[in-house]
Structure 1
Amino acid sequence: MSTRAIYPVKLSLSGGDFYTLWAPTWTENGTQWQAFLGDDSSVMVFASPAAMLAYLDSGRSHDLSSHPSWARFSALGDVRVVPEEKNCFDIVGAPAYLAGRPSHENVSRLSRVFAVSRSLAAVAAADEAQIFFASHSILGNADRGSDHFAGENGMSEWTGIGRVVLANWESVVHSLDGAVRLVDPADSDGGEAAVDSAAQRISAAQAAREEERARAAAEQEKAAAAADPYDSSIWGLAGIDPIKISAQGKSAYTLRTYLGSAPVFLGKYGEIFTFPSPKHLVRWIVENDDHDLAGVSTWPDVLNAAHAGELEVTVHPDNSYSLTGISADIDKGPDAVDTAQMSKAYEIMADAADWAKDDSLNSLLLANPRMQDYLSYMLGSTNSSGYVPTAPFTDKAQTWKEMEEQLVGRFSKF
């Protein structure tokens, strides 16, 4: 069984605006059904959403109580009887849409009016309206949207619908007028008091809903303001990051990702392919595919953006590494060193060595155990074993230079 929702609707007919419930086509036990709020004699309409709510609260029987989604609809609260703008159908005013051009608004509104009018005619057995819709297949073109009328014959088709409606719509509306019965809950037990109570509850429910919507919108705004736009970029979505490395008075650009905890660079056989500018990097990506990142599952996303001319290299601050001045600062003493800068620089050195499967960095540190102690102390490692750096620091500065040279030595261009 497939079901569709039950909608509150406003129908503008000859006698004014009326409110009821509409259940568009649903399938049950292999049979298609459609219905409006009604009883054995006719479709029931009400002068206001409050009047309809008072009637529903009275517990009186109606056809929609057997709809498979009725329980779910009934649980929606007091605002369930208030139609949204798209469910307000100006049936009597439909010719006005055809007086204008076949814009998206005019075509979509006309299509919706045709849909609810056709359904109302079928449910209420409004003969003239049924014959009208059955006799003019051109009316179905409104369901194709405004693009259908943008072609060579579009305006002539739109005019054709206009002629059919102009000649017949008055009798269609008259037929639909007779298909509905205005119900006044004030005539039953509870009377005007029940309608007034329903109106107050609807008003309170609408105020609560607007307050909730405002709160949700404020939260979304706050979340959007706090969100990092990089996360929604092609790089953030692909999980492949442009990185910038500055050392020895120069800067180089490349790419890196992580598979699990293992770093993978744009490169091959331990050589990191580096470029002097983002433009050089993008141009190379378009023309080359022989590198380690080509095997990453999201690489085609990056490549497609590059081929489409939509790839811009944006380096997130977390992926910008500066080795400039660290060696000189080490030589001056621990207080002169920017430990955050040093930590990031050591990260890129270690990542590059891990990816290249090269033990040179580890071998260098093993050959200089005091440098290991120094790095542990400066970077806050728990393995510093009580070590405290003491002057002179020339040997530490020299070892750091060698670590830098190992990293730069992996670059294809620098």
Structure 2
Amino acid sequence: MARPSIVPIALTLDDRTGYTLWAPPWEEDGEEWQAFLGNSEGETATVHLFPTPAALAAFCRSSTDHDLSDHPVWPVVAGLGAADLTPDEDHRFDLDGVYDVVADNPDRWAVEELAATFDVVGRIAECCDTAPDEDDETDDDSEDDETAFESVAELMAQPEVAMLGLGVEAFVGRTGEESWIKLGSSVDELWEDVVEEVDEHLDWTGAGTVDVADYPSASEESQSRAAEPEDAEAADVDGDDHTEDEDVEVAAVVPTPTSTISGSRLTASPAAVAAAAGFWEGVGILPVEVVVPEGAGLTLRCYVDDEARFLGRDGEVFLFGTPAELSAFIAGDEAHDLTEIASWPEVAATETQPLPADQDRYDLTELAELLSEVADGAAGLVDHGVLTQPVEGARDLAEYAGLPRVEELLAPSTPLGQAVARSDREPQAALRAEDAAALTGPWDELVREVSTALVFRD
């Protein structure tokens, strides 16, 4: 059964990167909660930040004076080392880089990065805002309360910010371009005030355990990660070894089921994936991982006139068990539907490994498991946002393979279609047990239908 989770995250602000923990919304005693590693007691609520995952791990082992100490899985987190508390790429948020992102033309990575950054800023504001409710009696100067996050609220209220949840398609065409320009204007006007409000609640001393001088610059920290992607395990400050039991338990803690479904069956460091992404994005053909009950496999996908086209033939999608097997096929001469793509000669000649980014992993089985768990009583632990990525992958596969039944199952009038529409409007809305129960059957049928188009190659 799904359970509350705690996720390591990294925040970059004022040219330094701090590490902390976030507990996504969970339900306890009939109420929904979320929290960061920090302290909400006193006049100013704070989020504790640390210069390295190792420093974060040391604090977790030695301190219980914080808002996560009563979290259901804190005893597990308290025993984890630096490797387990190192955020994945989906949970690194560059507040300094927002101006650069909105200054460029929108693509799906820019839209997703902004959406994630604004989301975490809003969550920090929500957790640290200790201003009294409007219904409570307040002093005359309550409007000036420093925890009101007025600029954050103003930015989040902009319709263009809400459009980020719709993906890059919302910023295509003349109307979309105008919306992107308006988003940039809102950022120019409000972002400096937003980060000032947030920074007032960021504790860069790690609750007094570190010094601001301990933080490397953001560029130094990035270079260090790229140079030593596998070294986090050895970076524990006191060199404690961790048991195999702890390694098993961490899978139950991170990643959270309320985040975008990720967690590849492949083993590749974030640095290796990022390095490979430069080539694949440049040629416009991306590695994709698909997971169905029959197994997991890698393929390639591009878009031609906004229609998905996969590495395959006659509506069948070829899947390979490892990057090496996929690379070997790419270098061969078997006919398939991507050979006509202009950049295919570059792909056929490359030695760059086909490593999928998190947003190009479609685990159709994990969604089935989550729906079953919610239907069995894990309501409040999974939100509608978990539908977005697997449905996107299923639709692309069905489009290429010509599977009309998939679109019938996702029609706006169906329970699955209605849930997908809500995932676009309100991705943070919790899935109820009765909703999940109604989706389980249709989703299982959809997965069976998609599986008919997949061919696992040796």
Of Structure 1 and Structure 2, the greater helix share is in 1
The structure with the largest alpha-carbon Rg is 1
Q: Normalization by structure 1: what TM-score?
A: 0.45
